[in-house]
Structure 1
Amino acid sequence: MSGHKRMRRQHQKQLISLENRLKAEMDQHRLRLQKELETHGNNSYEEMERLARRHAAQTDKEIKSSLLEENRIQLQVVSQQKKELSSFLENQKKDYRLCKDKTRDEVTQDAAIPKEEKQEHLSRHKETMQRSQAEEEARLLGQQRALYDRTCRALKRRSVVKRHQFEQEQIREELNKKRIQKEMEHALQIRQDESTQDLERRQLLLLQTLRTQLVRMQHQTELENQEEYDDRRQRELHRKHSLEQRQQPRTLKMLEVQIKKQFQDTCKVQNKQYKALRNHQMEVAPKGDHRLILKALKEEQTHKLALLAEQYQHSIHQMMASQTTKTKSQMESQHEREQQKLEQKISIRRAHLEEKVEEEQVLLQKDRSERIKQLLDRQERESDGFHSESSRLGFGSLGSVDFKEDHR
């Protein structure tokens, strides 16, 4: 294998090795980003689970607290009503005794009334008072019962209102948490895309830099080989030509063979022309001038062959320079295409990411609106049902019921 081919293969191996290393680096980068995104998703899920458990615990606590508050107020109302009833009955007893004594005194002082009539009058008065007191007691018990029922109903209404407020606070907290998590996810995806862009640009720069260095090294080697060839061409023309042909690329070798063939053909034509010219001059010139004529023709032929050799060498140099320029231009065009392709890829990926972020934000807002609407609709149905039931049970407005707070 020629040195030139060996060098090109080594360069190709270096490029392939770098490409494989960069690909492995990109794979690790993408895997790290994927794990980072999965970790964020898992953390968000666990955070929402903790929030759900906390909300459930808060709901249970709120329900128990509401029940305890209802029981406390109910017991307070019952206790107060017992005191009122006890005081009412005690006052009735006092009034009954006073009225009974007064009536007996009045009847006793009137001597004209017979004894049986007095007893009958006292009995009727006693029955009237007892009936009146029983009616008053029943009326008081009815009022107390109505107040108790109204208080219980008002307590239920307050519990419903507090539960609705509590549910609204919880859903706002949940939806705000989801919004913050989604914003953090989008920010993470944008940072990941930017880091991927930086890595892609850096990798492309490394690959293009290595390719440029290898091409420059290859051109330098070719130039050194050509210069070495030029230095030794007089001593080892045929051997060096053969060796150089094996070292150069096939396209250059074919071009050099063509130039060499043109040079050889031209030399043959000139040799024929000089031979014909020599024969002609030898025929027409005197025999004594033949030696001078041959010498002059020989010098002229040597001079022209030297010019042809110089032209041949110049053509070889031009061919090498043209090939180097062409290779450099091709490499620069390739680098430009790679850069444009990368920027287009980055632009498309970023556009897709921004579109995805916008769609998810719209869906999140839509879900938020639907969740809030569903909650408010359900709460409105519950409130309407509660008010309808209250009206059916005979309760009017419950907003005027006042509760004494327990500050223990």
Structure 2
Amino acid sequence: MSGYKRMRRQHQKQLIALENKLKAEMDEHRLKLQKEVETQANNAYIELEKLAKRHAAHADKEMKTALTDEKKFQQQIAAQQKKELTTFLDNQKKQYKLCKEKIKEEMNEDYSTPKKEKQERLSKHKENMQHSQAEEEAQLLAQQRVFYDRNCRAFKRKVTMKRHDLEQEQIREELNKKKTQKEMEHAMLTRHDESMQELEYRQLKVLQKLRMDLILLQHQTELDNQIEYNNRRERELRRKHVLELRQQPKNLKMEVTPKAEHKAVLKALKDEQTRKLAILAEQYEQSINEMMASQAVSGGGLILRGGVII
């Protein structure tokens, strides 16, 4: 195997080694960013769980407080109404007693009415009075029931509005927390994207530099080999020409012009060398242009072909 082929293979190994190194670096960086995303997502989930538990505990506490307050409120109304009813019944008893005594006095002063009739009249007065007091008591109880129901409904409505306000406040707090988390996530992903682009650009720059250096080295080696070949070929032609001159007859040597022929051969060799050098220079320039065009097309990212970064 020639030295040039060994050099080409060595260059290929260098490129593959660098590509593998850059790919490993990219994979490690991508894994690091993915872990950061997962960590932030877990932290966000934990924060929302804590917030939900705090909201639930607060709502449960408020509900228990509301039930206790409602029970106290109902007990206060019931106690007040019981007191009112007791006072009302006491007044009825007093009124009943006064009316009864008054009727008895009137009957005692009435000597013309038979005793039996007086008893019937007294019983009827008692019955009428009891019926009237029963109606008044029923009316009072009905009024108390209406008052009790109306005030209990008002109290429950107040508690419900307070619970609704609390729920709205908790929902706003949760939404603000989620909004903040989304903004943090967006900022992190933007930072990750910029980080990936920077790494891709840096890796592309390193890879293109190595390719450029290797191409320059290859072209320089090709140029040196071509120059060496041309020089060797020129020496061979010189030796061949001298040998042919020595082998020619003397009279033929007098007829030819070795010096002129020698100059023509040298000129042909130089022209051939110039032509090949021009071809090499053109190939070199074309390779450079293709590399620059490939770099421009690649932009800020690395291109993967067959799982290998190029």
TM value normalised by structure 1: 0.61
1:38 is the counterpart of 2:26: no
1:237 is the counterpart of 2:229: no
What residue identity is the alignment partner of 2:289? E
The equivalent of 1:194 in structure 2 is 194
User: Structure 1 residue 119: deviation in Å?
Assistant: 4.7
The equivalent of 1:315 in structure 2 is 272
Q: Deviations over 1:78-127 (max 9, x none)?
A: 11111111121222233233333444444445565555555544443333
Alpha-carbon separation, structure 2, partners of 1:84 and 1:105: 31
1:336 is the counterpart of 2:293: yes
The equivalent of 1:55 in structure 2 is 55
The equivalent of 1:80 in structure 2 is 80
1:8 is the counterpart of 2:8: yes
Alpha-carbon separation, structure 2, partners of 1:345 and 1:112: 132
Alpha-carbon separation, structure 1, partners of 2:271 and 2:159: 104
Q: Deviations over 1:188-217 (max 9, x none)?
A: 323222211111111111111122122223
Moved more, 168-177 or 330-339: 168-177
Alpha-carbon separation, structure 2, partners of 1:221 and 1:110: 156
The equivalent of 2:92 in structure 1 is 92
Q: Is 2:66–2:159's contact at 8 Å kept on the other side of the alignment?
A: yes
Q: Deviations over 1:40-74 (max 9, x none)?
A: 22223323333333333333333323322221211
Give 3-state SS (helix, strand or coil) of 2:194's partner. helix
Residues 7-406 of structure 1 aligned to structure 2 (within 5 Å): 7-109=7-109, 117-223=117-223, 237-238=235-236, 294=254, 300-343=257-300
Pick closer, same or farther for the CA change 1:216–1:132 going to 2, 3 Å: same
Give 3-state SS (helix, strand or coil) of 1:134's partner. helix
Alpha-carbon separation, structure 2, partners of 1:171 and 1:264: 100
User: Structure 1 residue 340: deviation in Å?
Assistant: 0.9
The equivalent of 2:308 in structure 1 is none
Aligned residues: 299
Q: Is 2:18–2:207's contact at 8 Å kept on the other side of the alignment?
A: yes
Alpha-carbon separation, structure 1, partners of 2:184 and 2:228: 65
Alpha-carbon separation, structure 2, partners of 1:264 and 1:169: 104
Alpha-carbon separation, structure 1, partners of 2:302 and 2:7: 34
Alpha-carbon separation, structure 2, partners of 1:264 and 1:227: 18
What residue identity is the alignment partner of 2:5? K
Q: Is 2:81–2:144's contact at 8 Å kept on the other side of the alignment?
A: yes
Moved more, 33-42 or 316-325: 316-325
In structure 2, stretches of 5+ residues that fail to align are: 304-310
Q: Deviations over 1:225-272 (max 9, x none)?
A: 666778x759x934xxxxxxxxxxxxxxxxxxxxx8xx999x8xxx99
Pick closer, same or farther for the CA change 1:195–1:19 going to 2, 3 Å: same
User: Structure 1 residue 144: deviation in Å?
Assistant: 1.8
What residue identity is the alignment partner of 1:316? Q
The equivalent of 1:244 in structure 2 is none
What residue identity is the alignment partner of 1:88? F
Q: Deviations over 1:121-145 (max 9, x none)?
A: 4443333222222221122122222
Give 3-state SS (helix, strand or coil) of 2:4's partner. helix
Alpha-carbon separation, structure 2, partners of 1:303 and 1:105: 180
User: Structure 1 residue 14: deviation in Å?
Assistant: 2.0
Alpha-carbon separation, structure 2, partners of 1:35 and 1:342: 27
The equivalent of 1:350 in structure 2 is none
User: Structure 1 residue 23: deviation in Å?
Assistant: 0.7
**Identical columns (%):** 52
What residue identity is the alignment partner of 1:75? Q
Q: Is 2:201–2:302's contact at 8 Å kept on the other side of the alignment?
A: no
User: Structure 1 residue 161: deviation in Å?
Assistant: 4.3
Alpha-carbon separation, structure 2, partners of 1:124 and 1:225: 148
Alpha-carbon separation, structure 2, partners of 1:50 and 1:79: 43
The equivalent of 2:306 in structure 1 is none
Alpha-carbon separation, structure 2, partners of 1:218 and 1:345: 24
Alpha-carbon separation, structure 1, partners of 2:49 and 2:281: 67
User: Structure 1 residue 331: deviation in Å?
Assistant: 3.3
Alpha-carbon separation, structure 1, partners of 2:301 and 2:22: 20
